[in-house]
C-alpha cells in the first residue's frame, strides 16, 4: 500500500514539474553545459552574407571539383578508352586487384549478379528470370531481356557490358548504384556464364 502511494505522489509531482516547463517564458539565463560550443560564430543554412557578391553563404563547389571517392580513370569509371574513341576490350586489371585478386573478384561477381541481374536475366543469363516470366504472363510482351549467349553479346567489349550495367538500355534500368568495382565483377561473371553456356546461334 505504502509503495503504491509513493508512486502516485512521485508521478503527480513529475507531471506538474513537466507542465511547468511547457510554453512558459523565463527570465532566468538558460543553463549551458559548454557555453563556447553553443555560441560558435557560424552561418546557418541558407543564411545571407555581404561577404560575397551573390550573398550566398552556401558556396557552390569550385569548378572541376570531384569527390575523393570518385573514380577518375575513364577505363574504370566508364569502361571507355582514354581518348573516348571506344570501349575498353577487357576488364581493367586494377579493379581485379582492388577486389582482392581473381578468385575473390569472380566470387564477388557471381554473388552480385545473383542479387542484381537474376530477377530478369536468370541464373544462366538466358534472359528468363522471374520478372520476365511475370511480364509475359501479364501480357507485357515488349519486356524481353535478351540471352547473353548470342554471338553479338559474346563479342561486345567488356567496357560495353560495363556501360550497359551503368546506364541501362531500353527497358533495363541503370545500375549506377552498384559500386564501380562490383559492376566490373559482374561483367566478369557474365563472361563466365557466356563461356559456360552452349552458344545459341542467331539468338538476339
Cell readout for 93 is 586489371
Give the span between the Cα atoms of 107 and 99, in whole angstroms: 10
**Which residues sit at the interface with ligand HEC, rule CB under 6 A?**
116-117, 119-121, 131, 143-146, 153, 161, 164-165, 169-173, 175, 186, 190
User: What's the closest the beta carbon of residue 83 comes to ligand HEC, in angstroms?
Assistant: 22
Between 56 and 172, whose beta carbon lies closer to ligand HEC?
A: 172
Cell readout for 164 is 550497359
108-109-110-115 Cα dihedral, nearest 10 degrees: 90
Between 96 and 149, whose beta carbon lies closer to ligand HEC?
A: 149
Report which residue's Cβ sits closest to ligand HEC: 170
User: What's the closest the beta carbon of residue 155 comes to ligand HEC, in angstroms?
Assistant: 11
User: What's the closest the beta carbon of residue 139 comes to ligand HEC, in angstroms?
Assistant: 16
The dihedral sign for the CA sequence 125, 127, 133, 135: positive
Between 75 and 147, whose beta carbon lies closer to ligand HEC?
A: 147
User: By C-alpha distance, which of 95, 104, 203, 72 is closest to 158?
Assistant: 95
User: What's the closest the beta carbon of residue 45 comes to ligand HEC, in angstroms?
Assistant: 37
Give the span between the Cα atoms of 188 and 81, in whole angstroms: 18
Amino acid at each position: 500500500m505504502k509503495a503504491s502511494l509513493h508512486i502516485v505522489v512521485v508521478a503527480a509531482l513529475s507531471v506538474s514539474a513537466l507542465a511547468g516547463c511547457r510554453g512558459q517564458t523565463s527570465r532566468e539565463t538558460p543553463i549551458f553545459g559548454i557555453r563556447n560550443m553553443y555560441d560558435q560564430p557560424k552561418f546557418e543554412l541558407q543564411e545571407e552574407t555581404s561577404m560575397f557578391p551573390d550573398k550566398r553563404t552556401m558556396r557552390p563547389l569550385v569548378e572541376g571539383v570531384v569527390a575523393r571517392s570518385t573514380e577518375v580513370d575513364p577505363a574504370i569509371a566508364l569502361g571507355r578508352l582514354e581518348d573516348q574513341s571506344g570501349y575498353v576490350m577487357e576488364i581493367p586489371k586494377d579493379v581485379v586487384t582492388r577486389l582482392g585478386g581473381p578468385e575473390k573478384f569472380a566470387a564477388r561477381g557471381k554473388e552480385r549478379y545473383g542479387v542484381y541481374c537474376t530477377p530478369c536475366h536468370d541464373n544462366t543469363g538466358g534472359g528468363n528470370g522471374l520478372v520476365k516470366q511475370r511480364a509475359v504472363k501479364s501480357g507485357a510482351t515488349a519486356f524481353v531481356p535478351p540471352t547473353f549467349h548470342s554471338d553479338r553479346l559474346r563479342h561486345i567489349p567488356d567496357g560495353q557490358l560495363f556501360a550497359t550495367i551503368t546506364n541501362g538500355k531500353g527497358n533495363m534500368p541503370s545500375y549506377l548504384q552498384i559500386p564501380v568495382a562490383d559492376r566490373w565483377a559482374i561483367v566478369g561473371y557474365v563472361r563466365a556464364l557466356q563461356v559456360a553456356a552452349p552458344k545459341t546461334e542467331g539468338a538476339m
